[in-house]
Structure 1
Amino acid sequence: MEISELTALLTHEGLDLLDELGSIGSSAEATRAVSRLRAAGHSPDLVSAVVGQAHLRARAQAKFGEFAARMLFTRAGLEQATRLNVASLHAARMRQAGITEVADLGCGIGGDSLAFAGAGLKVTAMDADEVTAGIAAYNLAPFGEDVDVRRGFAEDAVDAGPATHPGTRAVWLDPARRTAGHSETRRLAASDWSPGLGWCLDVARTHPTGIKLGPGMDRDLIPHDVEAQWVSVDGSVVELVLWSGPLAREGVRRAALVVSGGRSHELTAAADAEDVPVRALGAFLHEPDGAVIRARLIGDAGRMLEAGMLDGRIAYLTGDSAVTSPFVQSFRVRETMPAHAKTINAALRAHDIGRLEIKKRGMDIDPATFRKRLSLRGSQEAVLILTRTPEGRIAILADRV
């Protein structure tokens, strides 16, 4: 979005037109809307802005629910925004730590600030981009004087030296990890983030701080004195947050927060967990959540399930106990066989399988390509797991628990 489009949108005419248009879910709908609005005499900038926002509002419902219907977005801002349910958990942590004010530096479209303000915190939200700051101001306007939105750089908003009010005022940092822009962007190396990771960590040493980062960040860059929390939503790992000061829980340095179906569960530890021993495949196979894997807490999950590792280099657990947990997906084993299409097809026919979910780990196989080699004509469903054990490659036919 260009500043001319935002200016055209932030008028009574623009906002009324956007509300009338509703959400647009497909490119075909967008094309028809553009033709209709241009024929009605609306300016190109206004039509582009309104139709673009209507399309983004439809996409934003997955992250912001009903709030998306009154928010504005950029494409890049929506992609990089924290999901509202996750941001609300971060806000609750701040309240529990006694925080009353937070500086959201690199606020983007204001998704995190929305949750912070909703939790009763006073918020200073800042972004260096003019359009993005303008959109954040619109999205946060309902909170009135409790939220102050500014345009500027994080480095100018907080001193990396000693904090003035270390117990009540926190800093939330979301350094730009992609190239500038409102639509197509690309990932940057850690050395090119803005603000830089080193500066962010300096702030974290002297202020209660949360630093939102990509979940695949090099673990060697994580200081030993912060809490590292990996977060997954509905099976997808979405972020890593480094917490410092009173926001870091005593005795916790590794955490896996699993959010699914509107509920959240967390596995925490003082350090990376020691792996459980390797054992032969049992009656059940467990696939740890990605956040558990990233946090290196597979061993703790295994001990909860009375399970061992299927292979020391593969993140699968196995055991004979009929138990599961929110930190894994569990499967009841039907049959094992060599990982050859001919053998697998025979098993699929024997079990009358016509609907098959294929999972793989530790094998250089494309599930979509492999599926084309299988005969699926039955009336039942199952899960096929292609993996490796110390004895070699195997296929496991199983059912979800």
Structure 2
Amino acid sequence: MAYEFGVDDIMFLTSERGTAALADAAALPLTDTSLLKDVPTLRRKYAPHEAALVETVRTRRRAVGKLDDPDTLLLTDTALQQSTPSAVATHRADELADRHPGAVVHDVTCSIGAEMLALAASDGLGGVIGSDIDPIRLAMATHNLHDRRGVQLMRADALTPCSRADIVIADPARRTARGRTFRLDELDPPLLELLSVYAGRPMVVKCSPGLDYQMLRDRFGVEAAVQVTSLDGGVREAALWTEADDLPARRATVLRTGADGTVHADELSSDDPDDIDDPGVGEWIVDPDGAVVRAGLVRHYAHRHALRQLDPQIAYLTGDAVPAGVRGFAVVDQIGVTERALRSALAAHDCGRVEILVRGLDIDPDRLRRRLKLKGSSPMALILTRIGRNGTAFLCRPGIRG
């Protein structure tokens, strides 16, 4: 169970002595196996704050790769899990600055201030306000943003407007005492109430990637543009943009980090053309980025890259070339999906390690992999899907175009 920080912990961690204590703690392993030895070491010097030190250092380590400069931040494990990756927040801040130059942005669920760090770093915005109902997280945000100009913080309920900011950002909590929730009425604050309170004002609401945005439109009449964003292959969020009639109804934003650390963005929208050739099987199979699939833009992606679908109802694409920088699967053989057929084909190609991708079939890849009992030496890939009503498998060799 995660440690619950208190006000005295925050006061200690932000003091000169606390800074030195964090440096001492960071020099320790603090692994699950070393804690019995490490905690008494910290307790002797820094009691009663040893647990706060351990939690802070371990959470900072988990934040590496997600948040910029995590070693300078105060944060909780729950706040880290919900926080927006810095690359995603920076891309959004740049878009807000381009769309609304000079605007003041209010993050009404600012938590530890991860999103605000990106907003405050943007030269094109006129100011940043943050508020949260949780005094501990607000204290952490105050520390994390202490050297940023043009930033204001206040304690307030997200459902009680307390500023006249031009744009509102919100990130309703998606966890309850029972764990992660996908029910709109169990979000904190509830999504529909949040949209109602700020109706008429441009707003960006960060939601789970699994959000049924079509249901929001059809059942609740929510008029908002949807942006599904992925980072380095993982879908991070579905953001609702309200009062944005100039935006496409659906967008997929694909962010990828280059070898030099630079984040590159590629965007596809429902305004793009989606006419493609009839289904068929080409030399390569491409599994589109999850943001493209979640945004319902598979055909649009296929049109852009001269691909077609294996089946009209399946997201796998195929063609004679792979888009630049995208991983594809060179088709070696097309076979049945029985274990006997799969085992025979894999053995014939000396396969000893197989990657299994499944769409449209009720097959557990891990269980199937164990049952195949591979004994060869070559790496291969199996793509299991259906064409029409028939299950089919493609034996492939993975590859990537530079």
TM-score range, shorter chain: 0.7 to 0.9
Helix, strand or coil at the partner of 1:288: coil
> C-alpha offsets along residues 193-237 of structure 1, whole Å, 9 cap, x if unaligned?
333323332355422221111111122214564321001112221
Q: Is the 8 A contact 1:21 1:54 kept in 2?
A: yes
Task: Indicate which of 49, 52, 57 corresponds to 2:52.
Answer: 49
State whether structure 2 residue 172 is matched by structure 1 residue 175: yes
Following superposition of structure 1 onto structure 2, how do residues 23-34 of structure 1 map, counting pairs within 5 Å? 26-34=31-39
Q: Is the 8 A contact 1:349 1:378 kept in 2?
A: yes
TM-score of the two chains, using structure 2 as the length reference:
0.87
Specify the code of the residue in structure 2 equivalent to 1:49: A
Specify the code of the residue in structure 2 equivalent to 1:148: Q
TM-score of the two chains, using structure 1 as the length reference:
0.87
Q: Is the 8 A contact 1:251 1:270 kept in 2?
A: no
Specify the code of the residue in structure 2 equivalent to 1:191: D
Helix, strand or coil at the partner of 1:331: strand
Q: Which moved more, 1:197-206 or 1:46-55?
A: 197-206
TM superposition shift of 1:158 = 4.3
Partner of 1:385: 383
The verdict on how the C-alpha distance between 1:143 and 1:185 changes in structure 2, with shifts beyond 3 A counting, is farther
Q: Is the 8 A contact 1:210 1:244 kept in 2?
A: yes
TM superposition shift of 1:275 = 7.4
Partner of 1:347: 345
> C-alpha offsets along residues 350-370 of structure 1, whole Å, 9 cap, x if unaligned?
222222211111121111111
Task: Indicate which of 244, 249, 253 corresponds to 2:249.
Answer: 253
Q: Is the 8 A contact 1:76 1:185 kept in 2?
A: no
The verdict on how the C-alpha distance between 1:96 and 1:204 changes in structure 2, with shifts beyond 3 A counting, is farther
Partner of 1:157: 161
Helix, strand or coil at the partner of 1:87: helix
Distance 2:79 2:366 in 1: 32
Specify the code of the residue in structure 1 equivalent to 2:110: C
Partner of 1:215: 209
Q: Is the 8 A contact 1:124 1:147 kept in 2?
A: yes
Specify the code of the residue in structure 1 equivalent to 2:265: S
Q: Is the 8 A contact 2:181 2:187 kept in 1?
A: no
Q: Is the 8 A contact 1:309 1:315 kept in 2?
A: yes
TM superposition shift of 1:25 = 6.4
The verdict on how the C-alpha distance between 1:99 and 1:201 changes in structure 2, with shifts beyond 3 A counting, is farther
Q: Which moved more, 1:302-311 or 1:333-342?
A: 302-311
Distance 1:263 1:29 in 2: 39
Partner of 2:362: 364
Q: Is the 8 A contact 1:257 1:265 kept in 2?
A: yes
Structure having the larger proportion of residues in helix? 1
The verdict on how the C-alpha distance between 1:102 and 1:30 changes in structure 2, with shifts beyond 3 A counting, is farther
Task: Indicate which of 66, 73, 85 corresponds to 1:71.
Answer: 73
Distance 2:207 2:269 in 1: 19
Following superposition of structure 1 onto structure 2, how do residues 1-400 of structure 1 map, counting pairs within 5 Å? 1-3=4-6, 4-22=8-26, 26-38=31-43, 40-44=44-48, 46-65=49-68, 67-97=69-99, 98-120=101-123, 121=125, 122-144=127-149, 146-158=150-162, 169-179=166-176, 185-187=179-181, 189-202=183-196, 205-219=199-213, 220-222=215-217, 225-245=223-243, 248=244, 250-261=246-257, 262-270=263-271, 276=276, 279-319=279-319, 321-324=320-323, 329-390=327-388, 392-400=390-398
Distance 1:139 1:209 in 2: 24
> C-alpha offsets along residues 228-274 of structure 1, whole Å, 9 cap, x if unaligned?
100111222110111233xx372512100011223221101239x76
Specify the code of the residue in structure 2 equivalent to 1:302: A
The verdict on how the C-alpha distance between 1:63 and 1:107 changes in structure 2, with shifts beyond 3 A counting, is same
Distance 1:380 1:22 in 2: 42
> C-alpha offsets along residues 339-358 of structure 1, whole Å, 9 cap, x if unaligned?
12222222222222222211
Distance 2:120 2:226 in 1: 24
Specify the code of the residue in structure 1 equivalent to 2:133: A
Distance 1:61 1:231 in 2: 20
Query: Alignment RMSD, CA only?
Result: 2.4
Structure 1 segments unaligned to the other structure (5+ residues): none
Distance 2:41 2:113 in 1: 32
TM superposition shift of 1:79 = 0.1
Q: Is the 8 A contact 2:107 2:116 kept in 1?
A: yes
Q: Is the 8 A contact 1:127 1:151 kept in 2?
A: yes
Distance 2:76 2:361 in 1: 39
